[in-house]
Amino acid sequence: MQPDPAPHAPPADPTARAAGQASFTALVAGRGLLYGGDYNPEQWPAEVWPEDVALMTAAGVNLVTVGVFSWGRLEPQPGALDLAWLDRVLDLLAEAGIAVDLATPSASAPPWLAVDHPETSAVNPDGVRMSHGSRNHFCPTSPVFREHVLRIVRVLAERYADHPALSMWHVGNEFGQVCYCDLCAEAFRGWLRQRYGTLDELNRAWGTAFWSQHHGRWSEVVPPRTAPYLHNPTQELDYRRFASDQLRDLYRVQADLLRELAPGVPVTTNFMGFFPLVDYRSWAGDLDVVADDWYADPADPRSPARAALTHDLMRSLGDGRPWALMEQATSAVNWRPHNLPRSAGTMLVDSLRAVAHGADAICYFQWRASVAGAERFHSAMLPHAGPDTDLHRSVVDQGAVLSRLRRVAGTRVDARAALVFDWQSWWAGRAPGSPSDRMDAVDQLLAAYEPLWREGIAVDVVHPGGELDGYDLVVVPGLYLVSDADAANLARVPERGGVLLVGPFSAVADPDAHVRAGRFPGPWAEVLGVSGEQHRPLPETGAQVRSDRFGDFRAVTWSELLRADGAEVLAWYADAGLAGRPAITRRLHPSGGQAWYLSTVPPSDVLARILRDCADAAGVHGPVACPPDVEAIRRGDVLFLLNHGVETRTVRLPFPATDLIGGTRTPGDLVLPAESAVALIEEDR
Ligand code: GAL
C-alpha cells in the first residue's frame, strides 16, 4: 500500500472570492472599461519605461499585466533577489494612475531551477524530460518546484500587497501542460485512490478485464505513457481529469497565498477558450474574474462566430459576471505557419464583440513589441516602428472608443437560450478507437451556435448539470458522456415546457466512459420518443435525407439507425442503408415543451432552419433582423451591432437610437460601414 497522497488544496473560500469580485467591480466602476495589455519592461532599459507610461496614458491604457515572465530578472541566481526595477516600474505606473495586474512568474522558471533540480522539469509521454530554454517546462507536481514558486509568490505579495498600483493578481500564465514523470504518476495514484477508494473499484471503472489490464497493486498503475497501441480509454480520461486538477492545484496554492497576504485583491489566471487540456468549468470557481486569451485567426472566415461562442463560454463560466479579455493580438501573431495581419477595423470590431459579450477588460499581448526572443515578430500595441504608425494610432483610437462605453461596464447579457458543453464529455468523445474521429463536440457546438448567433439570439454555454430553469431553449449539440443525474436535469427542459434539441452521438457513455448498453440515447430515449441501435458513420458521399418541413438535403459524416417511439418524424433517410428510417424527430410534450433529436450532420442552412423552428417554439428571438455579417447583441441597455464583413450593411431599427461610440442619433435605418460597430441606446424601448 502506498502512503496517502498529499491532499489537494481545497477550493477558494467563498468570502475571499466575494471580496476579490467586489474589488474588480469597484476597479471597473472607478475607471470604466479596462484597456491595456501585457507589459514586459524587463526586456527594455529603464530609460524606456517613462516613455512607455506616457504613451500608455495617451492611448487610454488603464490596466497592464506585469511580470508574467520576470522570474529570471527577479531572482537571477537562487535566493539573490532583485526587485528594485519592479519597484520603479510599479511606481511609474501608479503615478500615472495605471492599474497593475501583477503576475506570479510560475510559467517560466529560470534555468538555475532546472539545472539544480531537474525533477522540476516536465516529462513527456515518451519519457523525455523537457529542457529549459523555452517556457512552461515545469512539472506541476514537483514539491521542489512548488516550494520555489511559493517562495517567490510570497516575496511579491509581501512587498506589493499595499502598493497603490496593485489591482489584480495574474497567477502563472495559460496553465496547460501535462507531465508524465514519476512524481506525477504517484500523484495520479493518489488522485485515483481518492476517486475510487479501492483497486477493485478502479479495475471495475477502467474495465481492466479487457486486454489483461487488471491491476493487482497500486504501483502498477501508470499515466498513459507511450504504449504500442490504443490506451485504456478510462485511464486516458482519468489522466486528463487528473492533469487538469493537478494544474488547478498549482494555481490554488498560489491563489491561497495571495489571498492570505493581500486580502481583497482579485485573483485570476488566463484561460485559452476551448482549450483541450484543462476543464475550465472545474476551475472557474477559483477565479475571482474569469479571464481569457483569444487570438482571432484572420484566415478563418468563421472567426467572428468562434470568438462570440468563446466569449459566451467565458461569461457563462463566471455565472454571467463580467470577464476579462486578457490577451489578443493587435495584428499578426508569430506562431501560425503564415501570419496574416489584421485590419484596424477588425481589431476594433473584435474588441467590441468581447465587450458586447460581457467583457469589462480589453487587453492585448503585448504593449511594446519585443526585438529579441521567440516573439520578436508578434504584433503589439506599440510596434517596432514606434508610435508614428497606423497600428499605434488605431490602438489610441480604440482607447477613446472604449472610454465612451463606460455605461456597459458591470452590466450583464440576458440569455434565454443555452448550449450545453462539458469538457469531460469532449475528452471522452475524442478518445481514439471511436466510430469516427470526425465527431468533435466543439465543432458540433459551433455549428449549432452559428445560426443562433446570426439571428442575434443571446446564448449561455452551460454544463449539463447546471441550473437550466431560466432557459426556454436548450441545445445539446453533442454530449457523448453524461451522468444519469445530468441527463435527468436536461430531460426536465421539455417536461416543464421548454424546447430541448439533442444532437447525434449523445448520451453514449457514462462517467466511467463505458458505453451504456441498450438502445441509445439511453437516458433520453423516453423524453425524446426515439431510440437507436447503431451508429453509422457515412461514406464521403453522405446520405440523402427527405423532409417536407426542411426540404431534402444530403447529410454528411454520421447517421444512426433509429426507431420513433412516440416522436414525430420530421426528416427521414432515403439511402445509406437507412431508407425510411428517422433522421430528425420531435416529441411534443403535454407541458407544451418539445424534445427534438437530430441523428446526423445536416448542411448549415438546414441546421439553421431547424434551430429557427426550435427558437420560434421557445419564443426566443434576437433584438433586430440582422443582414449578413452583422451581429446583434444586447448587453445591459446597450444594443451592439457589429459588421464584421467587408460590405456596408443596413439594419432596420425598431426604435430611434443614439450611438454611444459616434455620438450620432439614428431615427430609422442604420447604415453600418464594413468593419464597424455601433453601441446603441434605444429610445422608447
Ligand atoms: C499567449 C501567451 C503570451 C504570448 C502570446 C503570443 O499564449 O500567454 O505570453 O506568448 O500567446 O500570442
CATH topology of domain 417-618: Rossmann fold (3.40.50)
Q: Residue 448 belongs to what H/E stretch?
A: helix 441-454
Catalytic one of 174, 450, 560, 682: 174
pLDDT of residue 3: 40
365 lines ligand 1 (CB under 6 A): yes
Q: Give the side-chain half-sphere CA count within 13 A for 41.
A: 28
For atom 12 of ligand 1, which residue has the closest CA?
A: 333
CATH architecture label of 630-682? Sandwich (2.60)
Is residue 327 part of the annotated active site? The answer reads yes
174 lines ligand 1 (CB under 6 A): yes
Residue 69 CA: nearest ligand 1 atom is 9
Smallest CA-to-CA distance from 59 within 406, 397, 386, 401 is with 397
Q: Are 472 and 620 in contact (CB under 8 A)?
A: yes
Smallest CA-to-CA distance from 102 within 38, 59, 57 is with 38
Distant-in-sequence contacts of 209-214, Cβ < 8 A, 24+ apart: none
pLDDT of residue 1: 35
pLDDT of residue 7: 54
Residue 270 CA: nearest ligand 1 atom is 8
CA 397 to chain centre: 28
Whole-angstrom distance, CA of residue 287 vs CA of residue 283: 7
Q: Are 671 and 449 in contact (CB under 8 A)?
A: no
Residue 68 CA: nearest ligand 1 atom is 9
pLDDT of residue 247: 98
pLDDT of residue 401: 98
As beta bridge partners, residue 544 has 554
Q: Which amino acid is at 204?
A: R
CA of 252 to the centre of ligand 1 (A): 22
Residues of the chain with pLDDT under 70: 1-7
DSSP state for residue 641 in the 8-state scheme = E
Q: Express each pLDDT in 40-94 by its tens digit.
A: 999 999 999 999 999 999 999 999 999 999 999 999 999 999 999 999 999 999 9
**CB within 8 A of 219, min separation 6: which ones?**
2, 189
Sheet holding 630-635, edge to edge: 630-635, 638-643, 676-682, 657-659, 665-666
Ligand 1 pocket test: pick from 278, 293, 381 the residue with the most ligand atoms within 8 Å of its Cβ.
Answer: 293
Taken in order 465, 471, 472, 475, is the CA torsion positive or negative?
negative
Q: Residue holding cell 516575496?
A: 155
Q: Express each pLDDT in 330-368 by its tens digit.
A: 999 999 999 999 999 999 999 999 999 999 999 999 999
Classified as helix, coil or strand, 474 is strand
DSSP state for residue 504 in the 8-state scheme = S
**CB within 8 A of 117, min separation 6: which ones?**
142, 144, 145, 148
Whole-angstrom distance, CA of residue 556 vs CA of residue 529: 24
Q: Residue holding cell 420560434?
A: 616
pLDDT of residue 2: 40
Q: Are 136 and 241 in contact (CB under 8 A)?
A: no
Q: Where are the chain's structural domains?
A: 417-618, 630-682
Ligand 1 pocket test: pick from 71, 104, 174 the residue with the most ligand atoms within 8 Å of its Cβ.
Answer: 174
pLDDT of residue 4: 42
Ligand 1 pocket test: pick from 177, 365, 377 the residue with the most ligand atoms within 8 Å of its Cβ.
Answer: 365
For atom 3 of ligand 1, which residue has the closest CA?
A: 365
For the chain, what percentages of helix, strand and coil (3-state, to nearest 5) are there? 35, 20, 45
Kindly list the distances between the CA atom of residue 202 and the CA atoms of 217, 219, 223, in Å, as whole numbers in the listed order.
11, 13, 14
Catalytic one of 75, 236, 327, 455: 327
Residue 295 CA: nearest ligand 1 atom is 12
Rg of the chain, C-alpha, whole Å: 26
Q: Which amino acid is at 318?
A: G
For residue 675, give the C-alpha cell.
468593419
For atom 10 of ligand 1, which residue has the closest CA?
A: 375
Is residue 682 part of the annotated active site? The answer reads no
Q: Is the pTM of this model over 0.85?
A: yes
